[in-house]
Amino acid sequence: MLIALCSAKGAPGVTTSGLALALSWPRPVVLAELDPAGGDVLAGYGRGEMSAGGLADLELAARRGGPARHLDSQLLRLDSEGRARLLPGLADPASARHVDWDRLAAALAAVEDGAIDVVADCGRLRAEHFPAAVVHRAAVVVLTTGSSLRAVRAATQAIAELREREACLGMLGALVIGPGEPYGEREIGEALGVPVVGVLPRDAKAAAVLSDGAPAGRLFAQSALLRAARTVATRLIEFAAAHESRLTPPQAAVPASATTVGSSRVR
């Protein structure tokens, strides 16, 4: 199951939100840093850890075969159990123009035959070399937005753009960062015309762990940010399941006259 996160102009925290979701996901998940502006997770949450793999190396390896063959070797653990893993993003934004987003989208949508969920941080919608192919293939596309008038206005324009271009085949939703500043979840959903999949609070202390590698502390897992992220993750899984069930044609009922028991036909 592929879920794409993106943002409108000036929207807060796509990468931090994606990381919070991945660490809170109730089943195995890959966080894919696909922002063409470059990856930030290793520099922040990873405290400057250098990676020998990631999106750039995956793209090079994919030229010798399908990217699905090489994806697993490019993933790093985000937690001690390895339940959440990271595909590190580009170190050099200039290399975004060389990424075959169509081929990568197909690989991410089929990780272990769909048994592993993928949360893709796609960055800002109108960025150069935006991974539109990934958004197009995602089961759910989530636009992050703040709750100010300026943020909601930009999000409304972004939703309209996604719809007009038929940029996504999956379900559209919004994730509100810092609700009540001043608008709430219901008001924002009505303004955007899409369901709000959840809200994440402005939890500066927990966000600093994710964005800047601040010490986590023993209560980090119970922070307001991660508690809210667990709720959002569950709702996103439900959204994606609803989309997949809508696409799956119902099985034709077997006529009673054709039902057999042993060698006898039931009439």
- The answer on pLDDT for 111 being more than 70 is yes
Least confident of 52-61, 71-80, 178-187, 223-232: 52-61
With cut-offs at 50, 70 and 90, classify the pLDDT of residue 112: confident
Cα(159)–Cα(165) distance, rounded to whole angstroms?
10
Structure-token pair, residue 107: 């690989």
Query: For residue 251, what pLDDT is reported?
Result: 57
CATH class entry, domain 2-265: alpha beta
Query: For residue 50, what pLDDT is reported?
Result: 65
Convert the pLDDT of each residue in 213-265 to its tens digit.
999 988 999 999 999 999 999 999 998 888 777 765 555 554 554 433 343 33
Least confident of 69-73, 87-91, 130-134: 69-73
Convert the pLDDT of each residue in 197-226 to its tens digit.
999 999 999 999 999 999 998 899 999 999
Phi, psi of 99 (to 5 degrees): -75, 130
Convert the pLDDT of each residue in 114-146 to its tens digit.
789 999 999 999 899 999 999 999 999 999 999
Cα(190)–Cα(195) distance, rounded to whole angstroms?
8
C-alpha atoms less than 13 angstroms from C-alpha of 140 in its C-beta half-sphere: 30
Angle (deg, nearest 10), helices 224-247 and 14-24: 80
The two most distant CA atoms of the chain are separated, in Å, by 72
Cα(85)–Cα(72) distance, rounded to whole angstroms?
10
Strands (E), the chain: 2-7, 29-33, 76-77, 84-87, 117-124, 140-145, 171-177, 196-200, 260-261, 264-265
Query: For residue 263, what pLDDT is reported?
Result: 39
SS3 23: helix
Among residues 188, 167, 193, 165, the alpha carbon closest in space to that of 178 is found at: 188
Cα(260)–Cα(258) distance, rounded to whole angstroms?
6
Structure-token pair, residue 123: 């960055």
DSSP 196: E
Average pLDDT over residues 14-41: 95
Query: For residue 166, what pLDDT is reported?
Result: 60
Element (DSSP H or E) covering residue 243 = helix 224-247
DSSP conformation letters of 54-93: SHHHHHHHHTTS-HHHHTGGG-EESSTTSSEEEE---SSG
Residues above pLDDT 70, as percent of the chain: 86
Query: For residue 245, what pLDDT is reported?
Result: 75
SS3 2: strand
Average pLDDT for the chain? 86
Query: For residue 259, what pLDDT is reported?
Result: 39
Angle (deg, nearest 10), helices 149-164 and 185-192: 40
Query: For residue 267, what pLDDT is reported?
Result: 36
Among residues 122, 146, 125, 126, the alpha carbon closest in space to that of 134 is found at: 122
Structure-token pair, residue 113: 């035959």
Give the pairing type, strands 117-124 and 171-177: unpaired
Query: For residue 249, what pLDDT is reported?
Result: 58
Among residues 73, 76, 75, 52, the alpha carbon closest in space to that of 64 is found at: 73
- The answer on pLDDT for 173 being more than 70 is yes
Average pLDDT over residues 184-189: 94
